Amino acid sequence: MAFPIRSPRDLVGGIAVFGRILDKIRLNAREGQLPEGYHLGVIPGKRTFDDRVCRLLDVDFDVLTQRTLAGGSDEEILEWCFQTGRRPDAEQIEIWNGFMHKRGWRDAASKGLEEQKAEAGLGHRDDIVTFFDLMDAEEGRAP
């Protein structure tokens, strides 16, 4: 069976991470289905990928959760985000995806990535250089 949360690299409407967040919202709504150790939404004092996506689209995470659980395809939910919040243009999406794909590689988050790699027992893996790589490796996908 495939891991129930898709890779952060998988795109919805050209946007990385968005589909992953929808997966987590849906799994969390089914009691006990969100794997242990996965956070959801905004964590005070921390910048999460969930928080960053909501800022990109200018939607509140709790409202996005309500809309997701109301049903519809990923594309319909993304279109709702565009109508409710904002629709980034192609260049903004390109910059977003580039930033997110490289997060943890030679940037302010590098130390946190190394700590999380070690916690996951993957500190020896030189092929894991971004948070996307770490998520994929932890979930059984090749980084």
Domain definitions of the chain by residue range: 1-88, 103-143
User: Vertex 130, ends 75 and 9: CA angle to 5°?
Assistant: 20
Strand-pairing partners, residue 15, are: 12
Question: Can you give the pLDDT at residue 41?
Answer: 83
Q: pTM for this structure? A: 0.92
Sign of CA pseudo-dihedral 60, 100, 21, 83: positive
Helix and strand counts by DSSP (H, E) for the chain: 7, 2
Average pLDDT for 33-54: 86
Dump pLDDT digits (tens) for 80-132: 999 999 999 999 999 999 999 999 999 999 999 999 999 999 999 999 999 99
Length of the chain: 143
Question: Can you give the pLDDT at residue 46?
Answer: 80
- In 3D, which of 70, 69, 96 has the Cα closest to residue 12? 96
